[in-house]
């Protein structure tokens, strides 16, 4: 409690509330920390996922992967340019949908995740850095490794797509065939 009191009465609250942000002094004064020591768990395919609950990125990751599960994501999803383009379109839309579903509490994108196989053996432990892009980057590495059958090195190095409220940002290393229309008729 002493740390909470120190935060509420610190000069930080005065200076941070005068920078044009959305957090007010009243928000800081009324803030109640919530301690949640349990992880959410969910199943996608043959894998059980353990990730931190809200306000961290676990629920967003779960929503993204569950949306994409409906498309039977597999290595064939990226086997041709046409399939890969469709798959990335679906991923971007899943990212957009999941990211507007955030609750009222500030959401951290951190989502360290432990993934077990059908025999309850650890298959993958994944997390990342990158601010607001963490959850979607982690989702892409998981998809690349577990569902697209890339080796770990390729799963990590594969170009990423990221979303903001109004646009999709595509890694410059992404194959142009997968992001650009192939003819004037496609525009």
Annotated binding site for L-glutamate: 108-109, 131
Q: In whole angstroms, what is the distance from residue 140 CA to residue 159 CA?
A: 9
- Residue 47 has phi, psi (to 5 degrees) of -120, 140
User: End-to-end alpha-carbon separation of the chain, Å?
Assistant: 58
Using CB atoms within 10 Å of the CB of residue 37, give its burial: 0 to 12 exposed, 13 to 18 middle, 19+ buried: exposed
Residues in Cβ contact with 132 at an 8 Å cutoff, skipping those fewer than 6 apart = 109
Crossing angle of helices 81-99/58-69, nearest 10°? 140
How does DSSP assign 29-86, residue by residue? HH--------EEEEEETTEEEEEE-TTSSHHHHHHHHHHHHTTT--GGGGSSHHHHHH
Q: In terms of Cα–Cα distance, which of 18, 50, 19 is closest to 37?
A: 50
Residues flagged as binding site: 108-109, 131
């Amino acid at each position: 409690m002493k740390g909470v009191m120190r935060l509420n009465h610190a000069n930080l609250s005065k200076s941070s509330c005068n920078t044009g942000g959305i957090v007010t002094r009243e928000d800081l004064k009324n803030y109640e920390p919530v301690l949640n020591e349990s992880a959410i768990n969910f199943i996608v395919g043959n894998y059980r996922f353990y990730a931190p609950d809200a306000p961290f990125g676990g629920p967003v990751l779960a929503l993204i992967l569950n949306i994409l599960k409906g498309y039977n994501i597999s290595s064939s999803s990226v086997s041709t340019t046409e399939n890969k383009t469709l798959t990335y379109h679906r991923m971007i839309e899943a990212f957009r949908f999941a990211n507007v579903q955030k609750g009222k509490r500030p959401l951290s994108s951190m989502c360290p995740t432990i993934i077990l196989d059908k025999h309850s053996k650890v298959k993958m432990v994944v997390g990342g850095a990158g601010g607001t892009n963490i959850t979607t980057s982690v989702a892409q590495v998981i998809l690349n490794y577990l569902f697209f059958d890339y080796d770990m090195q390729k799963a990590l190095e594969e170009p990423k797509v990221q979303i903001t409220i109004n646009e999709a940002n595509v890694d410059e290393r992404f194959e142009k065939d997968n992001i650009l229309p192939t003819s004037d008729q496609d525009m």
